[in-house]
Chain A
Amino acid sequence: QVQLQESGPGLVDPSQTLSLTCTVSGGSMLSGDHYWTWIRHHPDKGLEWIGYIKASGSAYYNPSLRSRVTLSADPSKSQFSLNVHSVTAADTAIYYCARDGAFCTGDCQEDAFDIWGQGSLVTVTS
């Protein structure tokens, strides 16, 4: 069974780059045609989809974050990564990696997520 685990620094200085990695275990990133996804949960706010990347390297970003986010994937290491540039306190959140469950079977443009990591709290502070 596929499992995901986030890793990376818990503290980031303002204006620097937040970097997280998600390690995939129990299966290959190359199996199926999945979207390897990042989502964050702000304190006292809802969840926000950041973007996703396919094993081929094609990436799609939330337009609200597109200018500051870079996703990458290394299927040979079973990892995909998130970089958020020029961070501020507003980027403080729990960051989750996730995988789509291929539930979009009709006229939908996105998908639901059936496998998630446990989350990584990142605090932006000096």
Chain B
Amino acid sequence: DIQMTQSPSTLSASVGDRVTITCRASQNIRSWLAWYQLKPGKAPKLLLFKASSLDDEVPSRFSGSGSGTEFTLTISSLQPDDFATYFCQQYSGFPCSFGQGTTLELK
């Protein structure tokens, strides 16, 4: 199985900050990577697919990059609504697998 490792596990930041979350795959997944935002009691939200493609209605302050084994999610200017937990997911191999999550908290 392909292992996904996210860092950091927790990130403290302020509104307006630029933040980056990293996701590493245990083997080459090309660009078959998605990013999700999770909030308690809400349906998880797909942010990006194919490493850098923004899903519908996702604000442009979210961006993704990378290919192969190393990927990043960047939020260019944090908004109050962005404090949540973020997960990466590889869908290159079977079974698909997720990172352990990064909790973005208010500093």
Show the binding face of A for B, using Cβ within 8 Å.
Answer: 4, 41, 45-49, 62-64, 96, 98, 101, 103-119
Contacts and interface: CB of A to CB of B under 8 A. Distances in A.
Contact of B49 (A47, A103, A109): A103
- Nearest first, the 9 closest Cβ-Cβ pairs linking A and B are A112-B34, A110-B96, A47-B98, A110-B91, A116-B43, A46-B100, A108-B32, A109-B94, A103-B49
Contact of B89 (A41, A112, A116): A112
A1 B53 CA distance: 21
Contacts of A62: 95
Contacts, number: 79
Given A47-B89, A49-B96, A104 B32 contact: yes
Interface residues of B, number: 28
B23 to A, nearest CB: 11
B71 interface: no
Interface string B73-107: 00000000000000101011111111111000000
Contacts of B97: 49
Contacts of B89: 47, 112-113
Contacts of B99: 46
Contacts of B92: 107-110
